[in-house]
Amino acid sequence: MKIKNPATNKVFAELEECNLQELDNQLVVLRKGQKKWSQLTVENRLDCILKFGDLIQQNKEELAAIMTSETGKPLQQSLNEITGAQNRVDHLKANAEKWLADEILVDFGPTHEKIVYEPLGVIANISAWNFPYNVGYNVFLYALVAGNAVLYKPSEYASLTGKQFEKYLYQAGIPKDVFICVIGDGTLGQQLLELDFDGYFFTGSYATGQKIAKTVAPKLVPLQLELGGKDPLFVTEDVPDVQLAAVNAAEGAFYNNGQSCCAVERIYVSEIIYEAFVDALVKEVNSYVQGDPTNLKTFLGPLTRESQLAVLENQVSDALEKGAVLKTGGKVVDCDGYYFQPTVLVDCNHDMKVMKEESFGPIIGIQKVKSDAEAIALMQDTEYGLTAAIFTANENRAMQVLQQMNTGTVYWNCCDRVSPNIPWSGRNNSGLGSTLSSQGIRAFVQPKSYHLRA
């Protein structure tokens, strides 16, 4: 596999791809390894995960440079992601033993009842490129601690990073027959679905997630899907500081070039502050430094995938044809890398693709609203259900709106964030199942109920 740098469109590395025969063998190897691994205590397994976390933090400069070279993520944001992902390790350290312990429910009289949490077995983890540390850790660390073996297929756009995970997991003491990283593109991913894993954990687009669900369904094994979003933000007229609201909204929309599953993808603004909010947001967006992702001052690098440039161009032209006004940006940058100008479209409506289809790029559509009821109806006019946010000074008002959102996560006066303490889950086209929190670890175990009579 040839690895290209999205900032230059030049191949800078090559990796050997895995073939189907090798995949078959790897599953056999992992099955044997998992049996031994599951017999260790949670504490023993956790020790390896803690060492892995330390190794990643000790080598973060080099690892951030690798991630930046293959995904185009600005170096500062690569460093932020690696530093931030450690919170998953810390959270497992504090909670894994408690969550995986046997639960004694009845311990008096002749019958005793308890639940034992057993690992699923060997799981397949097909992952995305946009936050490889965050979305990778959410699955393979939790799975390993729970006693599973993992076959990890990184996205072809984050393959070098996937190989680094493997290297440092082995250095941390995870046996080579318990975690294997396979290199390949979507075709390999498809082949992997033909094999009999004990669970499939996928992060990626709705289109691929749906294909995977159809293929895996007859196997009747756990399937978890963390998919895309079209996440709305509602800015009310009572925000104490319109400029600050605009700065925060812009960061939610443009961080990592908008290539985040929970990026703000559409904004509804009360008509009373509409003009002021738009002016402040455009000013903020125009202040972003776009360019070489290895420069620590760069906020916007290239997109990871060249093909997304055409998607964004199409959303802009569609919106303009239907009456939107372009406030800034709107074009592919004329250079070798995959750069798109940060783009703000205003006076948008729901006939436009930019308000309905996932953009996954540095582009935001803004629509004026007259009331909370109108905002709620528009926010809910989507096939996705990942997150929804509101900026308002009034907590009751926020709760009124957020309770009506059919999404896995809601935000009041914040957006575009994930915490290991609480579940991460999508509804409708945004996915199935939860990662993180106690629920995220229970996703990798199956309960066995014991009825015991002494």
User: How far, CA to CA in Å, does 126 sit from each of 156, 162, 205, 244, 285?
Assistant: 10, 11, 11, 38, 34
CB of 3 within 8 A of CB of 158?
no
Nearer to ligand NDP, 15 or 193 (CB): 193
Pick the piece of the chain touching ligand NDP (CB under 6 A) from 148-156, 162-170, 316-324, 444-452. 148-156
Least distance in angstroms from the C-beta of 434 to ligand NDP: 10
| Residue 223, beta-bridge partner list | 200
The only residue of 4, 153, 230, 327 in contact with ligand NDP, by rule CB under 6 A? 153
* DSSP line for 183-227: ---HHHHHHHHHS--SEEEEES-HHHHHHHHHHHGGG---EEEE-
By CB under 6 A, tell whether 5 contacts ligand NDP: no
Alpha-carbon distance 240 to 278, whole Å?
16
By CB under 6 A, tell whether 189 contacts ligand NDP: yes
The only residue of 57, 59, 83, 205 in contact with ligand NDP, by rule CB under 6 A? 205
Binding residues for ligand NDP, total number by CB under 6 A: 33
By CB under 6 A, tell whether 204 contacts ligand NDP: yes
Contacts 24+ apart (CB under 8 A), 406-415: 406/380, 407/231, 408/434, 409/262, 411/387, 414/248, 414/389, 415/231, 415/233, 415/248, 415/249, 415/252, 415/262, 415/264, 415/387, 415/389
Nearer to ligand NDP, 24 or 103 (CB): 24
Instruction: Please tell me whether residue 334 adopts helix, strand or coil conformation.
Output: coil
CB of 446 within 8 A of CB of 120?
yes
Alpha-carbon distance 361 to 377, whole Å?
25
* Angle (deg, nearest 10), helices 75-100 and 60-71: 110
Pick the piece of the chain touching ligand NDP (CB under 6 A) from 20-28, 184-192, 278-286, 371-379. 184-192
Q: Residue with the closest Cβ to ligand NDP?
A: 189
Rounding to the nearest 10 degrees, give the CA dihedral for residues 12, 16, 18, 19: 120
Nearer to ligand NDP, 155 or 298 (CB): 155
- Cα distance from N-terminal residue to C-terminal residue, the chain: 60
- Copy the structure tokens of residue 318: 């569609």
Least distance in angstroms from the C-beta of 435 to ligand NDP: 7
Least distance in angstroms from the C-beta of 204 to ligand NDP: 3
Least distance in angstroms from the C-beta of 367 to ligand NDP: 21
- Copy the structure tokens of residue 361: 């790029």
Least distance in angstroms from the C-beta of 264 to ligand NDP: 13
Least distance in angstroms from the C-beta of 191 to ligand NDP: 8
By CB under 6 A, tell whether 431 contacts ligand NDP: yes
Pick the piece of the chain touching ligand NDP (CB under 6 A) from 242-250, 283-291, 423-431, 442-450. 423-431
Pick the piece of the chain touching ligand NDP (CB under 6 A) from 33-41, 85-93, 153-161, 274-282. 153-161
By CB under 6 A, tell whether 156 contacts ligand NDP: yes
* DSSP line for 30-51: HHHHHHHHHHS-HHHHHHHHHH
By CB under 6 A, tell whether 308 contacts ligand NDP: no
Nearer to ligand NDP, 291 or 426 (CB): 426
The contact mask relative to ligand NDP for 321-360 (x = CB under 6 A, - = no) is -------------------------------------x-x
The contact mask relative to ligand NDP for 215-254 (x = CB under 6 A, - = no) is -----------xxxx-------------------------
By CB under 6 A, tell whether 129 contacts ligand NDP: yes
Alpha-carbon distance 297 to 388, whole Å?
30
The closest of 80, 73, 52, 66 to 161, measured between CA atoms, is 66
> What does the binding site for ligand NDP look like in residue numbers (CB under 6 A)?
126-131, 135, 153, 155-157, 185-186, 189-190, 193, 203-205, 208, 211-212, 226-229, 261, 358, 360, 386, 424, 426, 431
